[in-house]
A = this chain, B = another copy of it.
Amino acid sequence: MDLPVLPELRFHIAAPDVADAAAIAAVVGDPVRAGILALLGSGPHCVCEMAAALGERQNNVSNHLARLRQAGLVRASRHRVDARWVYYERDDAACAAALDRLGRLLR
């Protein structure tokens, strides 16, 4: 590790602005929401499909989907034939932007 030769304390360092990056990671940092994002990586799915695949109750999945929607990571639209089904898909641009923000923190 490359350290200063003498222990010179550097107290002038500005606090980095990481609120957005931490918020993004907090959204992804839940097993159910991460599972939803993984499922949506292979195309759109409706709520009941994801609830079954994840072994979670439907309203719980719906709650997490609301958080993901609020974060802009997913979009919702109703099925054209049977509009009772709500299909979700990832917002690829938003996900790429989120990953880029995390990359500026970890790279």
Contact = CB atoms under 8 A, between A and B. Distances in A.
A44 B9 CA distance: 12
A67 to B, nearest CB: 13
Nearest to A90: B106
A61 interface: no
A79 B7 contact: yes
Count identical subunits in the complex. 2
A106 B9 contact: no
Contacts of A82: 7
A99 interface: yes
Given A7-B79, A25-B29, A43 B105 contact: no
A65 interface: no
